[in-house]
């Protein structure tokens, strides 16, 4: 099946199962990355280590407020989850 790249407009071949699965279509990873830089509001990046660390700090702070300064048990439980 022929598809048109949403970034550069180039026609390229792809399998229908890939075309139907994706909302946006790109001829290469380079075009996908360029498009993502131009449209940061159109996709949600997956959470990375920075977001995870920030959430851990917020949860630790909340645990300190709720339990006083004794958060040792809570940290052990968080790692098991």
The series of mean pLDDT values per 10 residues for the chain, 81 residues long, is 94 93 92 88 62 63 64 51 47
- Please count the other Cβ atoms lying within 10 Å of the Cβ belonging to residue 26: 22
* Whole-angstrom distance, CA of residue 38 vs CA of residue 3: 21
Q: Please give the DSSP secondary-structure letter assigned to residue 7.
A: T
* Angstrom distances, CA of residue 39 to CA of 34, 42, 51, 58, 64: 9, 6, 21, 29, 39
Instruction: Tell me the pTM.
Output: 0.51
For 63, the domain range is 49-80
Please report which residue ranges of 3-71 form alpha helices under DSSP H: 16-21, 29-38, 49-67
pLDDT of residue 26: 94
User: Based on the domain organization, do 60 and 37 belong to the same domain?
Assistant: no
User: Based on the domain organization, do 34 and 6 belong to the same domain?
Assistant: yes
Q: What is the domain count for the chain?
A: 2
């Amino acid at each position: 099946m022929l598809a048109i790249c949403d970034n550069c407009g180039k026609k390229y071949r792809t399998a229908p199962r890939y075309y139907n699965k994706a909302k946006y279509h790109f001829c290469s990873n380079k075009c996908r990355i360029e498009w993502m830089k131009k449209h940061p509001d159109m996709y949600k990046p997956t959470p990375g280590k920075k977001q995870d660390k920030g959430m851990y700090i917020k949860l630790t702070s909340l645990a300190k407020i709720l339990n006083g300064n004794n958060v040792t048990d809570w940290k052990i439980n968080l790692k098991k989850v």
